[in-house]
Structure formats: structure tokens, C-alpha cells
Chain A
């Protein structure tokens, strides 16, 4: 088995430690930025839903500002975002390069995307259900945590899966600022050194991650929706 792989993908085997490290970097970037972008995006998404016209805490100025910010950051291509927010990144994590330096742009790039997804998921909760909860005296906290998030849970898992997958996609660009990861491995090792088997193997690993995330997500959705 091992010899078979060694025959088909000689460079993968000879660069094995680099492959392991890159995989670790991708997982690290995805998880850390995913957690932060998830929290920020969730809060933003909820804020958008409750402040929008007809929301439970409708507030036009707040909504307008949040809406504009989300749109703005969603329109900036990630590769440009990496450069543009450099100073901010340095302020937050002390560096603009390496795996850590790429976390901030990943979060900034991903959170608005997730916020929109969360907003759409929560808007799918029937207004009648919100109204029924209001009619029995539920306050804003109760409406957010016991109604919106609870009723929207299956959809939230779905959009989280989409977001994590797109985040894995973003991490592949980390190489530009020396952030490593599988994207970097595929391009700067596999592609530029003509070690095609490494490119292929990196792609395979990314695909496995994507399918894994999708599979786990689908399983959770099935488990929690009624």
C-alpha cells in the first residue's frame, strides 16, 4: 500500500512532513477564523434581523449602518482584503504575515458573508411564530435565543456548512502572505516545482475536508430538525 503510494506520488512521500504541516495549518486557520467569524457573523446576522424594518427591535439607522458595512466587506476580494487591512491586522495580532497574520483577514472576509447567511436563515423563521411568542409576553432575549436561534437551528447549521467550506477556500490564499496551508503547498511546491503529485494530493485533502464538513453538517441537520 505505502509502496504503491510512493510509486504514484513520490514527491508526496518525500515531502511528507511538509504535507502534514500544511494540512495542520489549513485546519488551524479554518477552525480559529471559523470560530471568530462565526461569533461575529452570528451577532451581526441577529442584529440585522432584529433591527430591520418590522424586526423585534426595529431601528433604521442601526440597520442601515450594519447593512452597509456587511455589503462593503463582502465586495472586497479576499486577496485585496489581505493587503488593505494590513495595518489593522498588525494592530490586532502584531504581524501581517504567517499563519497568524492571515487569521484577521480571514475573519474580516468571512464574518460579513456569514452574517448575511445567518440573516437569511433567521428570516426564514415564520413571522407568525415570532408574533405568537410576542403575544405570550416573550421579550427580545427570549425571542432571539428561544425562538429565532432555536427555530432557525437547522438552517443555521446549513449556512454554517456553506460558510466553513468557503472559508476553507479562502485559506488556500494564505500562501500569499506566508500563511502556509494546503493551497500554498499545491501552488508553491506542487505547481511551481512541477511536482504535480503534490498538487493533486493537496487537492484531494481539501476535497476530503469539504466532504467531511458537508457530511457532518447534513448529519446534524437531520438529527436536529423535526
Chain B
């Protein structure tokens, strides 16, 4: 199947006075139809710049942008506008027109289109119903809450029946509950309308909630990418792990764990490890298996198991105790079982 979005070797360079910023560097990205593709990264990583390239709000310095099979850069102005109508976009600050009613905001993208006034009216009513804001049709944006404003923005983005929806930090200004409702809305649009979604965020929780694929950006590059499950259970890059940890709270727990007396002074034959695993590997009980096969005892200090896309993903911090050989074997075996093992602490060298 042809990808919905195919970015090839995209570079975006800004020249500011005497400074040059390489906002995006050699990024290639394929988004399949029906994906909810998360792009995470800290502020300034180049996420917005990258997605603005998709609908040519930002022209790439070099590289190819192919959306639904069209090379966006070769389009004429009019064709580009038509192509943009098939790519909805929502923003952190909603960007609604303050001097227009909610209905008029949603109707805005339809004004240049082929619909009659009556048809536009009906379409707007349908869209407002979709985002559950029919009763606000004649209100103005200033009278709405953040979550409601974002719903209006979503309705506007959907007005021309786009195949792709780009969400640039659309939930960053919202509280957790509202964030969740917006994410669920995006997910249901994805499922019901087959909408392809690109979701930019710096909140891993949002990604966990709805994405099936994730890319991690740093300094203008995608440093790691894959399916949500893959990334969560086997993160390779430090930054990816940081992001995951912010969402599992494991990094809040770690200092407390490390401050415990018995952890400060690990005995010989003990090791503090972090285990990350994904459902399929855990049909066999992980912890009891260690004891049965290797006589390695595991003391669980921290555990977090969550269900991502119907698959449990676990993060454990445990102290393993056993003879050195057994420990090595046990760790080796865990690794071959696709459990990511990170050694956090080993006993200090005996000083006698």
C-alpha cells in the first residue's frame, strides 16, 4: 500500500541574521494510511517544523514530500490549496477566528468549495454534532473552554473530509481529563473514518493512549522509531527511555529506591536491575521462572504494568540474588527472552 505520507530526506534550515538553525536534518518518515503516528521530542527538537513540511506551510530546504502519492513541491498554488484541504491540522493554541461564531469557524474551509449555502449549513451542523458542540453553534470562541475550542478546531480541520489529520501539540494546553477526551476523539475518528493521524506531543502519556507507531526526535533528527510496543518494551536510545520513564513514573520511584539502606549496601550476589518486557514474553511467569531455573530470587521494589494496544507492558525494578554464575545465566536468559535488562547497581567491590 502506498504510504499516506512519505517524507524523504527532509532538511529544513533557517538562516537567522548570522545564525543558522538546522531545524530538521535528513528526516525520512513513512506514515501508512490508518496509522496514528506519534512524534515525540523535547522543545526545539524540530517536530513542528517537520510536520509543517507535510502541508507545505514550511518548504523544505531539501528532500521530497509525497502525500497521498502527490509530490507536494511540484504542485501549483491552486493544486497545493486543494491538497491542503485533504490535510487537516490542529494546533496547541486552537487558532480559531475570534470574530466568527463557532459555526462560521467550522464553515470557513468550505467557503471556497463547491457546496451550496444549504449544503454548507448541513455539513457544519453534522461536524458540530460529531464533536458534540451543536449547542454552541452561535457562540464565539471567547465563550468556550479550551477543550471545547479544540473540538471546534477539530471540526474545522475535518470540514473538507481530509484523509490526514496533523495534531501539533493539540492537547498541550489542556488538563489531563480534557486531553484524554480529545485523544479519544482522535482515536474514534481514526477508527470510524480511517483517518491517518500524525500526533506531535511531548507527553508520552498521549502517545501511549492512542498511537500505534512512534518516532522520537532530537536535534532535528529522528533518533528512534517503531511500533509503540517495540519502543516501549525495547527502547534503545537514552532519550526514548527518558520519555518512557516520565510516563511510568519509574524515575520518580528510583531515587527513593536507591536511598533505601539495603540498596545502598547491596550484598555480594545481589544486583539491582530494571526489567522491561512486553506481554508476549510473559506467558511464562517471569519471576518464578528465575527461581525455578536459576535459583535466583527476585525482590520486586517497583512495578508498573500497563496495557498498550491490548498488550501488557511491564516495567520492574528488582533486586536479584543468587550465585554469580546463576545470576549471569539468569540475566542472559532474560535477554534472550526479549526482556530489556538494565543493570542499575551492583555491590561495591569488597574492600578487605
With most chain B CB atoms within 10 A of its CB, the pick from A135, A150, A226 is A135
User: Does residue B137 face the partner (Cβ distance < 8 Å to A)?
Assistant: no
A126 CB within 8 Å of chain B: yes
A32: chain B residues within 8 A (beta carbon): none
Is there a chain A Cβ closer than 8 Å to B211's Cβ? no
Q: Any chain A CB within 8 A of the CB of B231?
A: no
Bound Cα distance A146, B108 (Å)? 9
Whether, in the assembled complex, B93 has its beta carbon less than 8 Å from a beta carbon of chain A, the answer is: yes
A134–B77 Cα distance when bound, in Å, is: 12
Residues of B within 8 A of A226 (CB): 98-99, 140-142
Residue A165 lies at the interface, judged by CB distance under 8 Å to chain B: no
* Interface residue? B111 (CB, 8 A): yes
Which DSSP category, helix, strand, loop or mixed, fits chain A's interface?
helix
0/1 string, A115-132, CB within 8 A of B gives 1? 000000000001011011
Which one of B88, B109, B140, B142 has the highest number of Cβ atoms from chain A below 10 Å of its Cβ?
A: B109
Within the complex, which residue of A132, A151, A224, A225 is in contact with B91, where a contact is CB–CB below 8 Å?
A132
Q: Are B99 and A137 in contact (CB under 8 A)?
A: no
Q: Is the CB of A225 within 8 A of B99?
A: yes
61-77 of chain B: CB within 8 A of chain A? 77
Q: Are B142 and A136 closer than 8 Å at their CB atoms? A: no
In the complex, chain B residues whose CB is within 8 Å of the CB of A150: 97, 99-100
Q: How far is the CB of A97 from chain B (nearest CB, A)?
A: 44
From B155-163, B259-267, B344-352, give the one contacting chain A.
B155-163
The answer to whether B97 touches A147 (Cβ under 8 A) is yes
B1 beta carbon closer than 8 Å to chain A: no
Give bound CA distance, A226 to B99, whole Å.
6
B89 interfacial by beta-carbon distance below 8 Å: yes
Which of B78-86, B119-127, B268-276 interfaces with chain A?
A: B78-86
Asked if B87 is at the interface (CB within 8 A of a chain A CB), the reply is yes
Contact status of A129 and B97, CB under 8 A, knowing A135-B89, A138-B81? yes
Chain A residues at the B interface, C-beta cutoff of 8 Å: 126, 128-129, 131-139, 142, 146-147, 150-151, 153-154, 224-226
Closest 4 CB pairs of A and B: A136-B109, A132-B95, A226-B140, A128-B95
- A sample of 27 inter-chain contacts (CB < 8 A) reads A126-B93, A128-B91, A128-B93, A128-B95, A129-B97, A131-B57, A132-B95, A132-B96, A133-B97, A134-B84, A136-B84, A136-B88, A136-B108, A136-B159, A137-B82, A137-B109, A139-B77, A139-B78, A139-B112, A150-B99, A150-B100, A151-B99, A153-B99, A224-B99, A225-B99, A226-B140, A226-B142
